[in-house]
Structure 1
């Protein structure tokens, strides 16, 4: 980019806004002589050249999936440019204001107007769902009302293409509190019905001027899982309650829902929808049970506890810390003596810090073996220390599902001597005891069938930690490698507890 110009064609004029995934610019397409919006996707600092290149490839692939969506209710993607080692998305420029801004300025909308907006957004979602694409962040700020009268669904930046690993694949509890469907808060990937729940919560704001669940972010998460579905006044009330049913199967299908919304938009009453079960009793349709309720309650307490020092809250049963919310040097989580024992050396290496889109990490490599650790985050959180117990549990569960999908991976660790990617077979993902509140592990086997590397993932309160131990030596048995990874994980857990 030179003198504010991207790809020699798009002149960046001024920023329009910024969010967790990047910055949006007002720009001028000099070739076609028109104004456009350019979204600059930012990547985390500290990534290696290969990690940055992989992230750019994934972002471009996601943009390609979004570009296939052609509908007046979906913001059009004109071009994708990779420059300065990051992607830039060139989109149509919308003039108007978001649904959220409109409600804040003018107050609640009449039922017929809100229903028309809902029907238009539903039509756009149906097109996306037909392409196997979930939006995952339907909310008032992502519904745009243009000056010409179009209703446009924006920001497919965290959308998920079915069957593909996405840019945010390893940070999976994404969305906006109060607009995330309950099944996704329970760690499930969700589907089209999850977007319908979010649309119902969005229309609740349009109709009443306030969110269905208010309070802090953690309080909204807890209410989504535990409180009955609120019923808005007027003809849309029962319809929105059905859209926000706790169980996805109890929500109306898109065709029935579209007909009902259009009927209200025309000034009529919403038809009575068939109800498969009691949609107002979360305890009857949720699978998380008492454990999930405790985790959400802990998240509520964490938010109000302050941010100075480690905030340690005690559960009622086992004394497990409930939150760590001050950043720390992850290279201090495994001490030199423990590193020396694990690597069987009297001169343990210093930790090599790093970071990528998953979170801060540290490695202790020597020729032939190494220990690695990463404290992880989801894609909607600034750093791991800002995670809640709810989002950490969802991240942990989705990591477990993620690794269970792949039987073969490309494994490399240049610092210990594996410079070229090696095809490694993954052993079955299994539960691990003796570390964290919940843990799983798996191993990678080389071409000889011997275990090269063992991984342990564990959750402790609001943190998800992954630990790897690898060796190229012939002497350690497969069980030795597994036990070394477990000892490294236990050492890091002790360090976290001691820090509290």
Structure 2
């Protein structure tokens, strides 16, 4: 398509590279008389017209999120165009070479230079994470070193807006073997800590001249999932080991890693906090899924140049890594679902409210009700600003709180319990679903009969509490417990739909 034009403004001059996510062109912006880079995003050929339209819409939305980023370490996105039935991203043109090409030409780089590149890249990543955007393909080929000395993180084309599904998430996982964090290979959506792992793998290659995990694709995937990374030498060794911890929660946070990288760049001791100075990556739970990825590696499509690889992923509609946009909680359950839970033909009107813990919704009939609340800790203004780490901590604290409280007072005027009544809390039960797991418990009255069942679970950065209560005589204890569990599962499905 050399010689073609886009939006009657951008003249495509010649291809600069191509890969799994499309082709990059050298182009001229005739309106502003400047050279730009234009990325042509290609879509899978098998997509039906409706799926293609949805994919294009999603790609434009992701580009709009990326365009909001303003940072010297992030390639600037000037424009997004939809022509020829696909999206085109107009970006600033960078002159120089990527980190992978530099290491291939010069071999391992000095530790201080690697640390400076890492610090500037992490500063850019942190700016993206602060806007709820993950990169998901940090690798040497996407860290660009300009002739003027800038370190620029490129190719946000597969980035993910927290709380949103992405262009490449329709049953696919994308990234580059050897630079994908273990949790993403296991099928989890990952989060900012996953980008940190990928950055550490990138810096490892820059410091050592070879990747953490090498070999054929299947071997890289298998070793990432089952073997600890080999240690890097020199002053970067301890920091990279900490950043490459198998468990995301064991990795240093971005601020700690950035401080350490800046000190290393200045030739100083990194001053890792206690607990990170001798990190030994351990195998993550859920390793039983490893065989899925190793078997699927035979179907991997490797593409040279720009882009990464696609890997079939078990299941669809994976939960997003974070919900950072307020959702209408009262729409997470459909009227039909509420009617089924409360055993009524016509679902009752929903009653939204809020307290210091977070927003909540209630659906009530005489004698029964379903309640939903998304919670936050006392240090966070609203639940949408929680992170997966703080949400996990909140869930743990909630379990400790309920474990201490065996005799309670409860009331629910909307279902007919207008005066506070004593209740006994049953044993705390661990649950593995919905979400990333949580716990449940029941409340019973003076007769010992259960009247309320609670399920608290974490999904991404949210802690959700679902309650089913009935003072009617018909449901059994088991039925009450099962109804609460079903309600929690429906709420999680509603969250996925809302994302």
TM tier relative to shorter chain? 0.5 to 0.7
Q: Deviation digits for residues 372-400 of structure 1, max 9, x if unmatched?
A: xxxxxxx9656xxxxxxxx54xx224546
- What value does the CA root-mean-square deviation take over the aligned residues? 2.7
Q: Deviation digits for residues 462-498 of structure 1, max 9, x if unmatched?
A: xxxxxxxxxxxxxxxxxxxxxxxxxxxxxxxxxxxxx
Q: Deviation digits for residues 418-464 of structure 1, max 9, x if unmatched?
A: xxxxxxxxxxxxxxxxxxxxxxxxxxxxxxxxxxxxxxxxxxxxxxx
Q: Determine if the alignment matches structure 1 residue 96 to structure 2 residue 96.
A: yes
Q: Partner of 2:112 in structure 1? A: 112
Q: Partner of 1:396 in structure 2? A: 314
Q: Determine if the alignment matches structure 1 residue 144 to structure 2 residue 173.
A: no
Q: Partner of 1:287 in structure 2? A: 285
Aligned residues: 321
Q: How does 1:380-395 map to 2 (within 5 A)?
A: 391-392=311-312, 395=313
| Distance (whole Å) between structure 2 residues aligned to residue 104 and residue 273 of structure 1 | 34
Q: Partner of 2:157 in structure 1? A: 157
Q: How does 1:337-416 map to 2 (within 5 A)?
A: 391-392=311-312, 395-399=313-317, 401=319
In structure 2, relative to structure 1, the CA distance for the partners of 1:147 and 1:281 (3 Å cut) is: closer
* SS of corresponding position for 1:270: coil
Using the TM superposition, give the Cα deviation of residue 173 of structure 1 relative to its aligned residue in structure 2, in angstroms. Answer: 2.4
| Distance (whole Å) between structure 2 residues aligned to residue 57 and residue 297 of structure 1 | 33
Gaps of 5+ in 2: 302-306, 321-330, 335-499
Q: Deviation digits for residues 388-419 of structure 1, max 9, x if unmatched?
A: xxx54xx22454658xx9867xxxxxxxxxxx
| Distance (whole Å) between structure 2 residues aligned to residue 125 and residue 226 of structure 1 | 27
Q: How does 1:35-434 map to 2 (within 5 A)?
A: 35-275=35-275, 279-283=279-283, 286-289=284-287, 291-295=288-292, 298=295, 303=298, 391-392=311-312, 395-399=313-317, 401=319
Q: Partner of 2:353 in structure 1? A: none
Q: Partner of 2:383 in structure 1? A: none
CA contact (8 A) 1:246 1:279 kept: no
Using the TM superposition, give the Cα deviation of residue 100 of structure 1 relative to its aligned residue in structure 2, in angstroms. Answer: 0.1
In structure 2, relative to structure 1, the CA distance for the partners of 1:14 and 1:273 (3 Å cut) is: same
| Distance (whole Å) between structure 2 residues aligned to residue 398 and residue 231 of structure 1 | 36
Q: Deviation digits for residues 226-257 of structure 1, max 9, x if unmatched?
A: 11222111101110000000111111111111
| Distance (whole Å) between structure 2 residues aligned to residue 400 and residue 5 of structure 1 | 38
| Distance (whole Å) between structure 1 residues aligned to residue 318 and residue 24 of structure 2 | 34
* SS of corresponding position for 1:173: strand
CA contact (8 A) 2:136 2:175 kept: yes
| Distance (whole Å) between structure 2 residues aligned to residue 210 and residue 39 of structure 1 | 29
Using the TM superposition, give the Cα deviation of residue 171 of structure 1 relative to its aligned residue in structure 2, in angstroms. Answer: 3.4
TM-score (normalised: structure 1): 0.60
Q: Partner of 1:493 in structure 2? A: none
| Distance (whole Å) between structure 1 residues aligned to residue 199 and residue 89 of structure 2 | 25
Gaps of 5+ in 1: 304-323, 327-378, 383-390, 409-500
Using the TM superposition, give the Cα deviation of residue 214 of structure 1 relative to its aligned residue in structure 2, in angstroms. Answer: 0.8
| Distance (whole Å) between structure 2 residues aligned to residue 86 and residue 65 of structure 1 | 18
* SS of corresponding position for 2:129: helix
| Distance (whole Å) between structure 1 residues aligned to residue 101 and residue 133 of structure 2 | 26
Using the TM superposition, give the Cα deviation of residue 297 of structure 1 relative to its aligned residue in structure 2, in angstroms. Answer: 5.4
Q: Deviation digits for residues 168-200 of structure 1, max 9, x if unmatched?
A: 232342211111111111111100000000000
Q: Partner of 2:410 in structure 1? A: none
TM-score (normalised: structure 2): 0.60
In structure 2, relative to structure 1, the CA distance for the partners of 1:42 and 1:263 (3 Å cut) is: same
CA contact (8 A) 2:3 2:13 kept: no
| Distance (whole Å) between structure 1 residues aligned to residue 156 and residue 21 of structure 2 | 11
Using the TM superposition, give the Cα deviation of residue 272 of structure 1 relative to its aligned residue in structure 2, in angstroms. Answer: 3.3
In structure 2, relative to structure 1, the CA distance for the partners of 1:175 and 1:3 (3 Å cut) is: closer
Using the TM superposition, give the Cα deviation of residue 85 of structure 1 relative to its aligned residue in structure 2, in angstroms. Answer: 1.6
Q: Partner of 1:471 in structure 2? A: none
Q: Partner of 2:419 in structure 1? A: none
Q: How does 1:420-459 map to 2 (within 5 A)?
A: none
CA contact (8 A) 1:229 1:280 kept: no
Q: Partner of 1:306 in structure 2? A: none
Q: Deviation digits for residues 287-317 of structure 1, max 9, x if unmatched?
A: 123x334445546xx75xxxxxxxxxxxxxx
| Distance (whole Å) between structure 2 residues aligned to residue 278 and residue 171 of structure 1 | 37
In structure 2, relative to structure 1, the CA distance for the partners of 1:325 and 1:93 (3 Å cut) is: closer
| Distance (whole Å) between structure 2 residues aligned to residue 158 and residue 164 of structure 1 | 12
Using the TM superposition, give the Cα deviation of residue 276 of structure 1 relative to its aligned residue in structure 2, in angstroms. Answer: 6.3
CA contact (8 A) 2:242 2:277 kept: no
In structure 2, relative to structure 1, the CA distance for the partners of 1:2 and 1:258 (3 Å cut) is: closer
